[in-house]
Amino acid sequence: MAIFRTALLLLVLTGILVGVGMLIGGTYGMFFGLVLAFAINFVTYWWSDKIVLKIYRAKPSENKKLNSIVERLAKDANIPKPSVYVIPTQVPNAFATGRDPKHAAVAATEGLLNVLNDDEIAGVLAHELGHVKNRDTLIATMAATIAGAVSFLARIAWWGSFGSRDRSSPLLLPLLIFAPFGAMLVQLAISRSREFGADYTGAQISKNPLALASALDKISSFSRNHKMSGSPSTAHLWIVNPFSSGAFMKMFSTHPPVEERIKRLKAIKIK
């Protein structure tokens, strides 16, 4: 299933870039879009995790407690211990990345360590290791990079239009509408069920679903009043969406409602 979703995302990206290239430059533009798509596909597979970590200035963790918790949970999950990073922001949150469990990384914000207690921190990290164990990380990280690339194309088209003599060209409107929504659709290709799956797997790993439920409530409450700086194209990576979103955007959210996640966590019976 993971292979199918990955292939589908690559196909969507290729189609968007080739289509945009054709609108801009006809046959030559279409060829350029195809070449660019192959280049981005290659880069996103091998280095998308490093790109995302770089965006948030993540540094290898020197926090002994954090490293110890991840090591213990990885052992309980029967997966290799991922690299551990800390992100310099006081907004509590976390994400996992990497193309497979052998090349995975977990990143936690400084705020996560300051706002949550030890059991809640373990619950959040177990959720992220759930993504690693369920092999969600490749598809999620690639989607972040792909959505960012598509949004970048929209910005290029917008600013390029100001230097064009023919602003009434039918090219501009499709680019400005289709590219951002294409990026949104790429993110929506990440099924919201993966968050429920990681919640369940994380609860089994930590053996404490109530701690994860409490952590989600605290992170969600904090995020409503303290927005994180970063790229909205990476929203689906985080355990809770750290960016502002209106009622309309919630309809297209890559995260299920926190209230529903908490309800399901409270119903989980640990084996």
Q: Is residue 23 over pLDDT 70?
A: no
Model pLDDT for residues 195-209, shown as the tens digit of each residue: 999 999 999 999 999
| 249/52 Cα distance (integer angstroms) | 23
| 159/189 Cα distance (integer angstroms) | 28
DSSP 160-203: HHTT-S-TT-TTHHHHHHHHHHHHHHHHHTS-THHHHHHHHHHH
Strands 104-109 and 83-87: parallel
The catalytically annotated residue of 71, 128, 195, 259 is 128
The more confidently predicted of residues 29 and 128 is 128
Q: Report the number of distinct structural domains present in the chain.
A: 1
Instruction: Tokens for 235, please give them.
Output: 């929203």
Mean pLDDT of 160-166: 53
Q: What is the largest CA-CA distance in the chain?
A: 68
Which range scores top for mean pLDDT: 20-29, 228-237, 258-267? 258-267
Determine contact, residues 104/80, Cβ cutoff 8 Å.
Answer: yes
End-to-end CA distance of the chain: 26
Instruction: Enter the pTM of the model.
Output: 0.79
C-beta atoms surrounding 79 within 10 Å: 18
Model pLDDT for residues 199-258, shown as the tens digit of each residue: 999 999 999 999 999 999 999 999 888 888 887 778 888 999 888 655 444 555 668 889
Q: Is 128 a catalytic residue?
A: yes
The more confidently predicted of residues 181 and 99 is 99
SS3 category, 117? coil
Q: Helices in 207-257 by DSSP H: which ranges?
A: 209-225, 247-250
Alpha-carbon dihedral of residues 22, 25, 27, 30, nearest 10 degrees?
A: -40
204: containing domain = 2-267
